[in-house]
A and B are shown apart, each in its own frame.
Chain A
Amino acid sequence: MASAGLEAEQTEEMTVREAIRETLREEMDRDEDVFLMGEDIATMGGVLDVTGELHKQFGKDRVRDTPIGESGFMGAATGAAATGSRPVVEIMFSDFLGVAMEQVMNQMAKMRYMFGGKTEMPVTVRTTEGGGMGAASQHSGTVHAWIAHFPGLLAVAPGTPAAAKGLLKSAIRSDDPVFFFENKMIYEQSGEVPTDEDFTIPLGEASVEREGEDVTVVATQRLVGESLSVADELDGETDVEVIDLRSLYPLDTDTIVESLNKTGRLVVADESPLSYGVHAEVMARAVENAFYSLDAPIQRVGVPDTHIPFSPPLEGEVLPDGEKVRDAIERIA
């Protein structure tokens, strides 16, 4: 399926944050129906400075500061999407999704199906995830497995600036609800991003970011970059293939299987709790579809089912990182 190959296109170096902001700008320019809503996203530019000064260009009607009531504004986004708008909602920290979950799980996710296919639900929900800032348990969660697990919702989690742009475009243009999960530790990560205003990455396509013969690492978000560094470190020793999963649902089984047919070894690296999540799903697909290609036990790297603690040594203990990916590779290489 898709590969990293962006060579043919015109690109520009930018950070994940800039890629997201420019994508929002381009999509708002392209389509009047697209508007942003969330807490402090206009005048303040968002607490993580993603929306920047977009309100200066588009006005506060299209970049809307909401009251602090996630259930109300998530519901309003849902009702707006059902009536011909294309809202892009920002949930400041993904931990706050809990407050809005009724509107997500029973309205947004179910309206199309329950109405016999007679409603569109073109809403995008952007939210930040992940530890690493000493923000403690209520501002560091990685909850994308809940959303990916829930029928009726699409979920993406880019690991590179280019993926951030391509996936956000697809999310905004999609007639289905798409959750766009941004890891807060990679906003400053930079890379080449296609300048084409119609550059999209189809929802449901993973990307082989580095080819290798010995071990496949299927990674997401921050762990994509960390896995690439590990792969470089191991160069000459173990030939590591790194896949940026990008789409959590739908999930690109074909790219994973193709890679496993070559390497026979799999590490899954994702910053969510280890039980019942993304790791388990990737492993299930691998076992269902590439069982006879597997030469070693599959390894998973993630959070050991704890919350994210505050104190830096504690936080460092539970957060997955490159070193843990490296250990996992070495266990099976």
Chain B
Amino acid sequence: MPSIDLETETGRKEALRRMLTIRWFDTTAGERFADGEIPGFVHLYIGEEAVGVGACAALEEDDYITSTHRGHGHCIAKGLDPKPMMAELYGKREGYCNGKGGSMHIADVDAGMLGANGIVGAGPPLGTGAALTIDRKGEDRVALSFLGDGAVAQGQVHSAANLAATWDLPVIFLVENNHYGEGTPVEEQHNVENLSATAGAYNVPGITVDGMDVTAVNEAVLEARERARAGDGPTFIEAETYRFHGHFEGDEELYREDDEVERWEARDPIDSFAERLMDRGELTDEGFEELTTEAKATIEEALEYARSAEEPTPEEAYDDMFAVEVPEITSFAQQLRADGSGPKGGER
């Protein structure tokens, strides 16, 4: 059973709800970043919601995903809770990573989310590794690695794809081709028209789907998942999509024209899916408004949660380096803290 069944009306509504939640999470994150409330940098997923939701809907709860630096959408699509997500963006202790990861590193291993990732192309080897555990333990689950079109140029992506294909591991590589790697168009980074052509080198299926269509992505991943579970190895899927915002918030976007953005915005994955549901008589304008209001309320709540959550204490910077206590960390911290009040233990 997929975690969200798009064959059912409830499933379709849930998919729409998740896409709206992502949209409002990221809209809010963008605004609060502009206000200076959120530190670091944030990369928004707005415009790409159909890819994350379509893919994660096809997965089961205990499947694994690896994500990218643009990970908020993947997290929500995988079912993570927006409250600790937002708290993580605010660097709070209640965040998924206790404030150590931030926007680019949200993870919840228990939920099968093996981390957003600040390194372009680092996810596919990790997804291949999760699939290796699954394979060795004979578990009935799969791993899916999201990666950007830019990431397809990374050597480690190919090294991982070759390993996964050779060993028939249950992993799916899902390229989100949003047509830019930072400011450089995909055509200037690759010599192939479709990035799914990559699959040919590994003798696994490679397909390109419309990444603005949640059901198209969903169907492709469902099929890839079956293949993976059957022991037939990985599938390379390219989803053609577009990010409506800049590479990061504050990006001046000098590399693209307004009319290109407008053309893609006209294909908004949320609006188009809602329209289809309306055509089927499953959704009314009021129903859509209601879902939108709910999504906004969920994010408003997450924002309140994040704002009122506690800051970690500075000493927590020394926690969680290792499973065991390492004397160096405690003794160096003790020596170097201005007030001499480093963590306890490790007395020398």
Residues of A in contact with B (beta carbons under 8 Å apart): 35, 61-62, 64, 66-67, 69-85, 102-103, 106-107, 111-120, 151-152, 154, 174-176, 203-204, 249-251, 253-254, 289
Contacts and interface: CB of A to CB of B under 8 A. Distances in A.
Contacts of A289: 348
A55 to B, nearest CB: 15
B163 A106 contact: no
A74 B156 CA distance: 10
B130 interface: yes
Interface string B319-331: 1111110111000
20 contacts: A67-B166, A71-B159, A72-B158, A75-B122, A75-B156, A79-B125, A79-B126, A80-B129, A81-B129, A83-B109, A83-B130, A103-B156, A106-B118, A111-B107, A113-B321, A115-B109, A118-B109, A151-B321, A175-B324, A249-B326
Nearest to B312: A116
Nearest to A71: B156
B125 A78 contact: yes
A260 to B, nearest CB: 14
A113 B322 CA distance: 8
A79 B105 contact: no
Nearest to B169: A76
A114 B322 contact: no
Interface stretch (B39-47, B91-99, B273-281): B91-99
Given A71-B159, A79-B132, A204-B327, A116 B101 contact: yes
B103 to A, nearest CB: 12
Given A78-B126, A107-B126, A152 B328 contact: no
A4 B107 CA distance: 44
A78 B133 CA distance: 11
Interface in B74-102: 95-101
B122 A85 contact: no
Given A71-B125, A74-B125, A116-B101, A83 B162 contact: no
B119 interface: yes
A77 B328 CA distance: 27
A154 B109 CA distance: 23
